[in-house]
Structure 1
Amino acid sequence: MTALDDKTIVRDYFNATGFDRWSRIYGDGEVNFVQKNIRIGHQRTVDTVLSWLEADGNLSDRSFCDAGCGVGSLSLPLAQRGAQAVYASDISAKMVEEARERASQIPNLNNIQLEVSDLASLSGRYDTVICLDVLIHYPESDAAAMLSHLCSLAEQRVLVSFAPKSPVLNVLKRIGQFFPGASKTTRAYQHSETAIAAALAANGFQVQRRAFNKAPFYFSLLLEAVRTA
């Protein structure tokens, strides 16, 4: 699979069956046990990011880029908490459409911009760049280039979460390969924490904090890296 192939797969999936599935997961309606577990796990990652950012006490003075915003699970509450500006994008037009609909239901939310864009096409400069649970859709061979681009957009800090390499995840992935069909999602890629940290360091960012969120059907390692050069 080339990067372009994976990008096309991700775009097509989240504009079709993937949107139906993940918009429910990121919503508050009825879901099955596995989906509920993923919802809880993802929300914990979002809550961790929000708590770290709020602890700084300077949201009103900071701009944020949420790369791969989905339906706005992070972007919308970040804007509601008074961020100076939130630029949120997703490769899926359906996801962005849903995020805009959710934003329209929040009174006086005028500090957020929602756009359809793939990660490589993002531009601008932001105090903090955030990319949650996106790298799982792309192979490790492309992660360094993706992180390099994200780092080029960040003035001060990058936060990224991904599925870390582990024996448990390897087993779950192998089991999933026995069940092909319409229920399958995009290809799931795991990433080495060492490799991710090295890619950040190569672009002048040093990991300062980490949080590992482990649940039966959701594994995510969150890294916060600050600019050192």
Structure 2
Amino acid sequence: MTATDDKTIVREYFNATGFDRWRRIYGDGEVNKVQLDIRQGHQRTVDTVLDWLRSDGNTEGMTICDAGCGVGSLSIPMAEMGAKVFASDISEKMVGEAKERAQATLGQSENPVFTVQDLESLSGSYHTVICLDVLIHYPQDKAMDMITHLSQLAESRVLISFAPKTVFYDVLKKIGELFPGPSKTTRAYLHREADIVKALEANGWTIKRNAMTKTRFYFSRLLEAVK
């Protein structure tokens, strides 16, 4: 399967069966125990990013690119903090949901700016580039290329989260693949932290902070890299 095939599958998934599943997971309505666990895990990753931004001081006017924004779980609170947020997602339905949630929270504000784009087509220059839980859709070589691309968009900081490749998580992933539900149709790629760090350092970044979020069904390693 080529990277193009992966991208097409991801786009179609999040515009179809996957959209309803993940909209509920990232919302506040009733979900099953597994979905609740994933919701809580993802929110912890989002909260960690927000805590780091707050600890660094004033975000007023800071330009931030939220690459793979989903339904706006991170973009909207960053806009509330005063950052100028450009948010994108490959799924038109996800972006539509994000716009609705932003309007409900922020009114008719033009911030964040939401757009339907894949990561490869992103351009511009931003103080900070953030990409949460998206590299799981990229095989190893394409993930490294994507880190280089995102690095070219960032002036001062990159934050990336990914599903870490360890023996334990490899086994857990294989077990999960034995029970494919109708809304689980995308491939999931795990990545070695050493490879992610190496790619960031090759682009001139230094790791400043890191965090690990793990629940029963959600696991994500978060790295913050600075110049």
Q: Could you tell me the TM-score, scaled by structure 1's length?
A: 0.96
Q: Could you tell me which residue of structure 2 aligns to residue 75 of structure 1?
A: 75
Query: Which letter does structure 1 place at the counterpart of 2:94?
Result: M
In 1: Cα distance, 2:174 partner to 2:141 partner: 20
The structural deviation recorded for 1:111 is: 2.5
Q: Does 1:92 align with 2:83?
A: no
The structural deviation recorded for 1:61 is: 3.5
Flag as ranges the 4+ runs of structure 1 deviating above 6 A: none
8 Å contact kept, 1:120–1:149: yes
Cα gap change, 1:126 to 1:180, in 2 (>3 Å) = same
In 2: Cα distance, 1:110 partner to 1:122 partner: 19
Query: Which letter does structure 1 place at the counterpart of 2:178?
Result: F
Q: Could you tell me which residue of structure 1 aligns to residue 100 of structure 2?
A: 101
Q: Secondary structure at the match of 1:59?
A: coil
Query: Which letter does structure 1 place at the counterpart of 2:99?
Result: R
Q: Could you tell me which residue of structure 2 aligns to residue 166 of structure 1?
A: 166
In 1: Cα distance, 2:77 partner to 2:180 partner: 36
8 Å contact kept, 1:24–1:31: yes
Q: Could you tell me which residue of structure 2 aligns to residue 24 of structure 1?
A: 24
Mapping of 1:1-229 within 5 angstroms?
1-83=1-83, 85-106=84-105, 107=107, 109-180=109-180, 182-227=182-227
8 Å contact kept, 2:18–2:183: no
Cα gap change, 1:173 to 1:148, in 2 (>3 Å) = same
Unaligned runs of 5+ in 2: none
* Per-residue Cα deviation, 1:119-158 (whole angstroms, up to 9, x for no partner): 0000000000000000011111211100000000000000
Cα gap change, 1:180 to 1:36, in 2 (>3 Å) = closer
8 Å contact kept, 1:80–1:109: no
* Number of residue equivalences: 226
8 Å contact kept, 1:79–1:109: no
8 Å contact kept, 2:62–2:82: no
In 1: Cα distance, 2:201 partner to 2:124 partner: 21
8 Å contact kept, 2:163–2:189: yes
The structural deviation recorded for 1:101 is: 0.7
Q: Secondary structure at the match of 1:213?
A: strand
Percent of matched pairs sharing the same residue: 65
Q: Secondary structure at the match of 2:123?
A: coil
8 Å contact kept, 2:212–2:221: yes
Q: Secondary structure at the match of 1:115?
A: strand
In 2: Cα distance, 1:184 partner to 1:102 partner: 25
Unaligned runs of 5+ in 1: none
In 2: Cα distance, 1:198 partner to 1:61 partner: 31
In 2: Cα distance, 1:161 partner to 1:180 partner: 24
In 2: Cα distance, 1:109 partner to 1:145 partner: 34
